[in-house]
Amino acid sequence: MTLKVIIAGPRGKMGSEAVKMVNEDSDFELVACIDRKHKEKNFENPDVQALNIPVFEHAEECFQNIKADLLVDLTIPEVGYEHTKSALQHYIRPVVGTTGFTDEQLNELVSISREMKLGGIIAPNFAIGAVLMMKFSQMTAKYLPDVDIIEKHHDNKLDAPSGTAVKTAEMIQKTREAKKQGHPEEKETIDGARGADHDGMHIHSVRLPGLVAHQEVIFGGPGQTLTIKHDSYNRKSFMDGIRFSLKKAMEMDELVYGLENVL
């Protein structure tokens, strides 16, 4: 069975790659796109134009007029939340790469998915290697509880720290004995020098041109350090995870947060 897919955010770098991936996979059919800034005269995605795919400015209009199985949302948190909620209400399974949802929003979306008995996946990172990096870090923290997270992204990223860094810290928290790191009397001479504090561990965000998505988790112990690192050099690194999630969502009856929960 060919799965009918809608993509929200086809203009962006991630969205453009997703359009190519869906179009090239015989298991999928791209049936529509959602672009809230869309104007017919300046919409720029040659793949969408060549396929003559309809582009809607508003998700509700799209979902009412297009029959689809799945939504891929690669937009921003405020828009992505509304898209995901509306998709579930229209019996469309969401696969969401947008980060920055609040706990309240996530809980509401999961509750709606249970009520509708629809599967879906919200993932801070769709790169398989990044998910493994998070899992390995979770395992390590049980034995080396002193840890800093350094995440590096392109300078157009809106949220800091990244969803991947926050998710990594949350996973580490499950196995790490809570502790305050560093000298008990340390003082920042410049605010923020030690990064964000999450349960005593520190998260540092770097934003520079030339970067895509990179993270290293550094563990320290007596006489040793261990660094677990992952690099995405281009957006193609996320496509295998999106492809897997689209197929997996069709087997599920509840929305989950984190690709590690379904691998």
Would you please indicate which residues are annotated as catalytic (active-site) residues?
153, 157
Residue 163 annotated as binding?
A: yes
Residue 14 annotated as binding?
A: yes
Residue 243 annotated as binding?
A: no
Residue 46 annotated as binding?
A: no
Residue 129 annotated as binding?
A: no
My answer on whether omega of the bond before 184 falls inside 30° of 0, hence cis, is no
Measured distance CA(144)–CA(61) in Å, rounded: 51
CB 21 within 8 A of CB 27: no
Measured distance CA(88)–CA(130) in Å, rounded: 27
Residue 38 annotated as binding?
A: no
Measured distance CA(163)–CA(101) in Å, rounded: 9
Measured distance CA(98)–CA(160) in Å, rounded: 13
How big is the CA angle at 15 (ends 9 and 19), to the nearest 5 degrees? 115
Torsion, Cα of 75, 78, 84, 87 (10° steps): -90
Q: Distance of CA 109 to CAs 23, 47, 66, 114, 255, Å?
A: 28, 31, 22, 9, 7
Residue 13 annotated as binding?
A: yes
Residue 10 annotated as binding?
A: yes
Residue 125 annotated as binding?
A: yes
Residue 119 annotated as binding?
A: no
Residue 195 annotated as binding?
A: no
Q: Which two tokens stand for residue 120?
A: 């879906």
Residue 123 annotated as binding?
A: yes
Which parts are annotated binding residues for (S)-2,3,4,5-tetrahydrodipicolinate? 154, 163-164
Which parts are annotated binding residues? 9-14, 44, 97-99, 123-126, 154, 163-164
Which parts are annotated binding residues for NAD(+)? 9-14, 44, 97-99, 123-126
